[in-house]
Amino acid sequence: MFFNEPYLDALTKGSLLSIFALFWIILMVRVVGLRSFSKMTNFDFVTTVAMGSLLAGASQSKDSVGFLQSLAAMTSLFIVQFAVSKLRHNLPWFDRAVQNTPVFLLKDGVILHQALKTTRVTEDDLIAKLREAGVESIKEVRAAVLETTGSISVLAGEKVEEGLLKGVTHH
């Protein structure tokens, strides 16, 4: 059943389009840079998800117009992401507009319950992250920070250099 001509044509076309689109994405990443798929900002996350969707669309294109449209959309996403990255680097107000701010969840051994509530992080999630970081006592934690990427960083020890906490806010 799957070895007759229409099925073989569909399998061949889908495979070739996927391979070509994947290499197109690799080429774009080489041109724009590895940051294209980093988990740095919410914008980067959305771009990564959209790129996956476009790759799926390209692999299922019924004609060359749809395939080229998918490649053009991929290229446009990379260009927009590159431009946003440059603007964030050069314009502090733009960076603040598109970037989340890191937030203290725990400071100097004290869990900041209002920050947990505001950021919608549960105390159980925070405690799990502390265990994951090898923390033996909450009192040894200088800071637990909800980063702009959505991950939680844990800084423990006697003293934390102030530069590491630059830009972190209290909620």
Tell if the pTM clears 0.85, that is, is over it.
no
How is residue 153 annotated by DSSP?
Answer: E
Both tokens of 84, joined, read: 């946003």
Tokens of 98: 């598109």
User: What confidence tier does 113 reach under pLDDT thresholds 50, 70, 90?
Assistant: very high
Determine whether 12 is exposed, middle or buried from the number of CB atoms within 10 Å of its CB (0-12, 13-18, 19+).
exposed
Residue corresponding to tokens 């431009």? 83
| Candidate from 59-73, 114-128, 131-145 with smallest mean pLDDT | 59-73
Closest to 155 measured CA to CA, from 28, 65, 163, 53: 163
Q: How confident is the model at residue 40 (pLDDT cuts 50, 70, 90)?
A: low
Q: Which amino acid is at 115?
A: A
Give the tens place of pLDDT for each residue, 5-16.
766 677 777 788
Terminal-to-terminal C-alpha distance of the chain: 62
- The 141-146 sheet, strands edge to edge: 110-111, 103-107, 141-146, 152-156
Listed in order, strand segments (DSSP E) in 27-148 are 103-107, 110-111, 141-146
Tokens linked to 100: 């989340």
- How large is the average pLDDT for residues 78-103? 85
Residue ranges of domains in the chain, CATH in brackets: 5-97 (no CATH), 103-165 (3.30.240.20)
